Amino acid sequence: MSAAEFDRARLRLEYSAFLQPGRILLTGHSHQAWPNRARTAMAQAFDDAARFVDDKWEHAVFPLVADVGRRTLSRLGFSESDTISFGKSSHELGFRLLSCFGPKPRIVTTTGEFHSLERQLRRLSEAGASVTWVPRNPVASLADRLIEAVGAGVDLLAVSTTFYEDAAIWPGFEAVSDHAARTGTTVLADAYHGFGALELAWPAQREHLFVVSGGYKYAQFGEGVCFMRVPTSTNLRPVYTGWFADFGALGDERAHGAPVGYGAGSQRFSGATFDPVSFYRARAALDVFDEHGLTPSVLRALSVAQTERIAAALESAAVPLLSPRSASERAGFVAARVKDAQALVKALRAENVYVDARGESLRFGPAPYLTDGEIDAGVAAAVRLITSP
């Protein structure tokens, strides 16, 4: 199915609980609506627990997680047979990887990373880690500056492929990640603002990549389903580890004093007992996407049309854009520079228009179930408040 053949009216029926009359949801980059069938799926989690009790893991949960994993890998731009580890947050997974490199790792990152990683790295720096902060801007020279910073002895390069502040797609990732692979540096790519909004493609050195993302934003999974694509050949040993990291050896006799064992591939980055309800919700969302032909290419085409509509309306009202004006350089939302952005969020919420802000950036995030009329009305309300005396 092409974007031109997409039936938005039919899709909207799937989201009637969230699409309340008069409410305009332009926070699709932060939290998209859940399909109605997510409610049924969450009830199914209760029914499976009641039916199987403690045997639910083998009979229901583990097959469900495997199904979500295969389908997630495909949408992430990897083979369904690749390896993936799940966590309740991207921070949990990223910190598990960070724990592999000892108490004083050498890390290179940018000043444009999301809050959870930025905060964690600042705290590790206080504890003795060596963190090199490469300024994100100017983006045109970011790849060259990262390549200069990444050399022998650097343990980890942590960098976004799409930046959370302004939805800028960074074209330099391939060159930098290939350079890191040649120097023996582990690469952690944050793809959270790409998953569900872009057709993700990875460089020649893709096998060496750790790629972290999650379903809270564009994928409509809700909370609790974040994931990390893990190189199949990795032998890293996380210090932050849980009993699921060597699940197959649970029946073995404990050998105190012996090295801690790890399962193969992505299993070594697993944690401990988790709430499986979020995976029922994730499968429901994936089912809706599949049944309505919302492949990554179709989602990207719909997103481009919607963000272009938003950007053009803001531009025509002389509202300065922070996001790239070219659609090829812009991911799934549009950010504008405004005064008192947080106050504007509150004022728009009073009019039942949902946007969000980061600093001086007012962010507009569409979703495939939104109509052009809803987008136009939401942006017009924002422009009226922005330009009013």
Show Cβ contacts of residue 94 under 8 Å, excluding neighbours closer than 6 positions. Answer: 116, 117, 120, 158, 188, 212, 228
**What tokens does 227 get?**
């994931």
Contact 107, 130 (CB under 8 A): yes
Write down the pLDDT at residue 255.
Answer: 76
Buried-state track 189-218, b at ≥16 Cβ within 10 A, e below 16? bbbbbbbbbbebebbeebebbbbbbbbbbb
CA distance 296 to 360: 31
Report the chain's mean pLDDT, rounded to a whole number: 95
Bridge partners (DSSP) of residue 364 are 334
- In 93-204 the beta strands, taken as DSSP E runs, fall at 106-110, 130-134, 156-160, 186-190
Q: What is the pLDDT of residue 314?
A: 98
Task: Determine contact, residues 115/93, Cβ cutoff 8 Å.
Answer: no
Closest CA to 384 of 340, 348, 346, 352: 348
pLDDT of residue 61: 97
Give me 363's structure tokens.
């962010």
Condensed to tens digits (0 to 9), the pLDDT of residues 113-127 reads 999 999 999 999 999
* 3-35+294-387 shares its CATH topology with 41-288: no
pLDDT of residue 361 exceeding 90: yes
Tokens of 114: 């999301």
Q: Indicate the DSSP class of residue 335.
A: E
pLDDT at 83 over 80: yes
Q: Which CATH number fits domain 3-35+294-387: 3.40.1010.10, 3.90.1150.10, 3.30.70.960, 1.10.287.610?
A: 3.90.1150.10
Q: Tell which CATH classification among 3.90.1150.10, 3.40.50.150, 3.40.640.10, 3.30.1360.70 matches the domain 41-288.
A: 3.40.640.10
Q: Looking at the DSSP assignment, which residues form a beta bridge with residue 205?
A: none
pLDDT band at 251 (very low <50, low <70, confident <90, very high): low
Confidence (pLDDT) at 265 = 81
Q: What is the pLDDT of residues 175-206, one digit of tens each?
A: 999 999 999 999 999 999 999 999 999 988 88
Distance CA 355, CA 371 (A): 16
Domain parsing of the chain, residue ranges: 3-35+294-387, 41-288
